[in-house]
Homo-oligomer: A and B are copies of this chain.
Amino acid sequence: MRVMIWGGDGYLGWPTAMYLARAGHEVVAVDSYLKRDLVCATGAEPLVPVPPLAERARLFRAAGDAEIRVEITDLREPEAAHRLLREYQPEAVVHYAEQPSAPYSMRGEDEARLTLLNNLGVTFNLIQAVLHHAPDCAIVKLGTMGEYGTPNIAIEEGWLTVTHEGRSETFLYPRQASSLYHTTKILDTDLLWFYVRSAGLRVTDLMQGPVYGFDAGVSDDARLLTAFHYDELFGTVLNRFLVQALAGHPLTVYGRGEQRRGYLDLRDTLACVSLALAHPPPRGEMRIYNQFTEIFSVNELAARVISAARTLRMEATVAHEPNPRFEAEEHFYEVRHRALLELGLQPHLLTEEVLVGMLERLRPHAARVRPELFRPRVRWGRPRS
């Protein structure tokens, strides 16, 4: 299958490119380098330096793997989107090309505007380019479980059938998020759903939970590792905890730590995207899958990291930080996530063995850790009025 990956340089994009190329697909990895720019501007370097995308593709090929074609172009430009779809005529596009950080989106007005205009603008450009040049092309879009927020009823898989005064209707599950970043993902879903219905687009929207993992399981070459972040902006919570444990720094739990979310292993993200590509909807249909494997509270994650660290004779502790975020710290959380399992997903669960393995893989890089990146500086808890 000819697959184009938008955002092919990112934490998920690059491993996806390798994984799909290894699986025999023709892969084109496209990126604006937006996240590299933001990483430079904020000083939030990844744990291990990441070669340019073309260099990574060259190394992958040199090691005997398939070619990954690379395009560095600004996907916010309509013409770039049109050219890509016209030239490559992909059968599917995996769309990761979004500003991916909730705290970054809440850092200030400029960062919020960039997040809004980039995420909506790129999604819109993709929709238009697909409709013009490759209307049968399937879109696999990375959404987020954060779109749903933490409602007081069970979170169904994308849709909710409501019975009201004896009549019933099935709606997009109502969404309300707790950062501007997550809100842009809601807007993406609304936009895609409109063009699915009105113009016959084929979309799979993956509501993904926070991902953890360092090694995608595709290559042993350290230069082909994904961009691994552990800072307050781009580091997801479990990755940050692992690096904090390595650095002998307390695990920074925000608030009471009873925030519950659905998590998954980086390797499972690759499998889920691959399953979505293998089961595209017909034209005019949107499929929505809740993409995670296990639910944990932040406190539970911290306890598991502490236990795994102890196995390696590292002494890890917890420090509760005032919660910088706007979120409920204790809440109901029951979430359906059957569809990907029914398609054949075989989860990598968060066992002690997995955690110990991640710590061991990260350990050689411990000297590069910059503990000053741990501290949350972006605060968007609800101000008192």
Which residues of A line the B interface, CB within 8 A? 78, 109, 112-113, 116-117, 120-121, 124, 128, 132, 135, 151-154, 160, 162-165, 167-169, 171-172, 174-180, 183, 186-187, 190-191, 193-194, 197-200, 282-284, 326, 332, 380, 382-383, 385
**B160 near A197: Cβ-Cβ < 8 Å:** no
Given contacts A162-B162, A191-B183, A326-B198, contact A153 B176 (CB under 8 A): no
**B164 near A171: Cβ-Cβ < 8 Å:** no
- A159 to B15 alpha-carbon distance, docked (Å): 42
**B186 near A190: Cβ-Cβ < 8 Å:** yes
Nearest CB of B to A382, in Å: 6
Residues of B contacting A380 with CB < 8 Å? 198-199
Nearest CB of B to A254, in Å: 16
Task: Known pairs A172-B174, A172-B176, A183-B191; list 9 more (Cβ under 8 Å).
Answer: A120-B187, A153-B162, A153-B163, A154-B165, A178-B197, A178-B198, A187-B190, A187-B191, A199-B382
Given contacts A117-B121, A160-B164, contact A151 B171 (CB under 8 A): yes
**B167 near A194: Cβ-Cβ < 8 Å:** no
Residues of B contacting A151 with CB < 8 Å? 169, 171
Q: Is the interface of A mostly helix, strand, loop or mixed?
A: mixed
Closest residue of chain B to A161 (Cβ to Cβ) is B164
**A128 near B109: Cβ-Cβ < 8 Å:** yes
Nearest CB of B to A346, in Å: 28
Nearest CB of B to A82, in Å: 9
- A156 to B207 alpha-carbon distance, docked (Å): 28
Given contacts A120-B120, A198-B382, A200-B383, contact A132 B109 (CB under 8 A): yes
- A154 to B168 alpha-carbon distance, docked (Å): 9
Residues of B contacting A124 with CB < 8 Å? 112-113, 116
Interface-central residue, A112, A160, A162, by most chain B CB under 10 Å:
A162
Name A171's contact: one of B78, B117, B176, B283 (CB within 8 Å).
B176
- A160 to B152 alpha-carbon distance, docked (Å): 13
- A152 to B200 alpha-carbon distance, docked (Å): 22
**A78 near B169: Cβ-Cβ < 8 Å:** no
Supply 16 A–B pairs (Cβ within 8 Å), ascending by A: A113-B128, A116-B191, A120-B120, A152-B168, A153-B162, A153-B164, A153-B165, A153-B167, A154-B167, A171-B174, A172-B174, A172-B176, A187-B187, A198-B326, A199-B383, A200-B385
**A177 near B194: Cβ-Cβ < 8 Å:** yes
Nearest CB of B to A327, in Å: 10
Name A152's contact: one of B167, B176, B284 (CB within 8 Å).
B167
Interface-central residue, A178, A382, A385, by most chain B CB under 10 Å:
A385
- A174 to B189 alpha-carbon distance, docked (Å): 13
- A385 to B131 alpha-carbon distance, docked (Å): 12
Residues of B contacting A385 with CB < 8 Å? 135, 200, 282-284
Interface-central residue, A121, A165, A187, A197, by most chain B CB under 10 Å:
A187
- Can you list the 10 inter-chain pairs with the closest CB atoms, starting with the nearest? A171-B174, A283-B385, A153-B164, A152-B169, A200-B385, A183-B194, A151-B169, A198-B326, A153-B167, A153-B169
Nearest CB of B to A316, in Å: 32
**A180 near B194: Cβ-Cβ < 8 Å:** yes
- A194 to B238 alpha-carbon distance, docked (Å): 26
- A383 to B175 alpha-carbon distance, docked (Å): 29
Residues of B contacting A165 with CB < 8 Å? 153-154
